[in-house]
Every structure is written in structure tokens, then in C-alpha cells.
Amino acid sequence: MNRTAIPFGSPLYVMLKPVGSRCNLACRYCYYLDKERHEEMTDELLDEFTRQYLEAQTQPEVLFTWHGGEPLLRPITFYEKALKIQQRYAHGRTIDNCLQTNGTLITKEWCQFFHDNNFLIGISIDGPQDLHDAYRIGHNHQQSSWQQVMRAIELLNQYGVMWNAMATVNHLTADEPQRFYRFFREIGCQFLQFTPVVERHQGVVADYSVSPRQWGGFLCGVYDEWVQQDIGEIFVQLFDATLANWIGEPPGLCSMSPLCGRCAAMESNGDVYSCDHFVFPDHYLGNIRTSTLTSMLYGERQQQFGRSKLERMSRQCRECSYLFACHGECPRNRFVTDCYGEAHHNYLCAGYQQFFEHVALDMDFMKKELEAGQSPANLMLCKGKSGKK
């Protein structure tokens, strides 16, 4: 392959769904519930994807991200085969694997496999049992998945498997930020990422979604807990991304980046879409059996998808003094009008603005510390145990 034909020098990611959207849970807020369920990925397609994915990369380190649905519905033998195929096409590249799971199917055998092959595991858990079980339920409507997930975390720790917590923030969890965050601290979580639930049905925001007011209060509440003693000990993805944007570095979080288009999604039948949140006909790029990942992901259509985040932005957003901090957040949430009556305004804007105003002085302090070669954790010395400067 002619490497000079690829004009970009940053990593490219594709979320791979070996079982499509099929899952053993039926979480009430899941945006996959109305998606088509594809058959399991064939060995032939796995081989073809792996070859194309590695050839499309311009960096020596490559990350495979296994997603779903629930990817552990495929057996360990499937992933053993996937690792062998990766090595066949690696050609000297360093390959890592990340698997995102609801945790209910994790066993000792899975943990041994994850440990032996250096997998990073993303565990979906929405905090304490009552908050988690309110929406993360099985197809038989039993409210018991939390116990299974906690058992999975115990096993991951027992086998020394690196994991991070992936929590959604809905209208229930948003009202209890302190209890939510303290739960993750108590279970030994070091890496925490949370995603706001914003779902619409026939154009109406679902009642389980987080409101802009709740989102702002939640972020401020969690931040106030974190900043007292956990800087450098617990890594909260959104706080890290905010600080990165504050100092002018890439945030490592697509929703907080100026452009989209670097993280596509492939269904188990080979269909490729611009993003996992845009698996719709308008954002269908093709199938790897008839088109190459290189042509689809570096092609003009995907590049335009990436640029549209910057181009389709409301006037209120463009004028905001905190635009640099969130870049309008994820386009999937831009469905309201702004104060000028312009479209493409972010539903959660007021919440983000509340958060940025709340942390601005702290971010300025941590930026100065980093510029001086010091640790941003020095902020905790200024705040003391009270959490106030």
C-alpha cells in the first residue's frame, strides 16, 4: 500500500461490533434498542477488517476497540482468533485492545484472557445499586445487573486487569453527584468517564434524559468532590479534556474536540458509518467488502462530516467565551435553537457553561502550574480540606 496517499498523521479509530447491537441487557435509555440486529461477524470479515484497519493507520501504535451490543456474547475463541489475525498483519506495529462491556458475562476465564493479552476493559456501571438498576435491566425486566457488574469488577481486580468505569448520567443520577462520585472512589475506580443521556423519541426529549440544568449541577458537584483530594489519583475524562483544551492541547475526547470524524463504527456485517452515534442512512460510508476503509475514512464524505461540527454551529455558540473549552460538544445534541433563533445549538449548552464558569479559576491555576513545570495537583494545597481557595 502506498503510505504517502494518506494525508493525515493522527490515529484513526473504528469501533468494531462483532455481534452488532445484540445484547443480553435491555437498558431503557439504550440508543441501540431500535437498531437492526445483524448476524455475528464472520471469520472472513474479521480478517478483512483487521488487514484494512492496520493498513489505514499512519501511526506505529494501533488500538482495536471491541464494542456492541455486548461483545462478550462472542466466545473467548473468537478473540483468540482475532489476536492471531492482528499479529499476522501487524508488520511491527504495537497493537492494543480495548473492550467495552456491561460486565455481566465476565468470568474467571475471561479475566485470565484479558490479563494475559493486556486488554483494557471498559465497564458500564451507573453508580450505586439503586441508580444503576433503575435503567440497566435485562430482557426479563429483572433489576439485578448491578450485582453481576460488581462481581465482574472484583474479578478484574483479582486478576490485575486494567479497567475503567463508563457511567451514563440520566435524570436520576444527575441529582446525586456526590453520592455518585463517592461510590466510584469507594470501589477503587481510577479512570472514570461519564456520558450524558440525551435521547429523543419523535423529536421529544425522553423523560429519563438529563436536563441542561441537571447536567451543569452534576458536573459542578462531581468536580467539587474530585478537586479536594483526587487530582492525579482519579482521572475523570471530562475534567482531563477540559484542562487539555484550557492549555491548548488535544483533549482526547471527540465530543470536546473541534472536529469530528476520527472514530467511525463498523457493524458486524461490514457496514461502516461516520460515527457510532450516527448509524443512520445519511452517514453510511459503505461496506468493507466493496470499499476500503482507507477510501471511506479518509474520503471527502467523512472529512466533510468532521468539518461539519465546526461549520454547523449556532451564533450563540460561536460568540461564547468558552467555545475553546467544548467546541460545541457532540453534534448529536445540537437540536435546539439559540437565543438568536439559530438552529444547531447544543441542548446541554447551559449546563456546560455553568460548569466552565465554576471551574475557570481552577483551570487557570492548573494551566499556570503546568506551564511552570509543576503538578496541577498543587491546586489541592490551595483549596485545603474545605475545598475552597
Annotated catalytic residues are 276
Degrees to nearest 5, angle at CA 275 with 273 and 276:
95
Q: Residue 314: enclosing H or E segment and its boundaries?
A: none
Q: Name the residue type at position 273.
A: Y
Nearest-angstrom CA–CA distance, 342 and 126: 35
Nearest-angstrom CA–CA distance, 215 and 222: 11
- How distant is the alpha carbon of residue 190 from its chain centre? 16
- How distant is the alpha carbon of residue 341 from its chain centre? 31
Of 219, 239, 221, 241, the closest CA to residue 231 belongs to 239
Helix segments in the chain, DSSP class H:
43-55, 76-90, 108-116, 129-133, 145-158, 177-186, 212-229, 237-246, 293-297, 300-311, 315-319, 323-326, 349-371, 379-383
Nearest-angstrom CA–CA distance, 98 and 374: 31
- How distant is the alpha carbon of residue 185 from its chain centre? 20
Q: Name the residue type at position 320.
A: C
Phi, psi of 88 (to 5 degrees): -65, -35
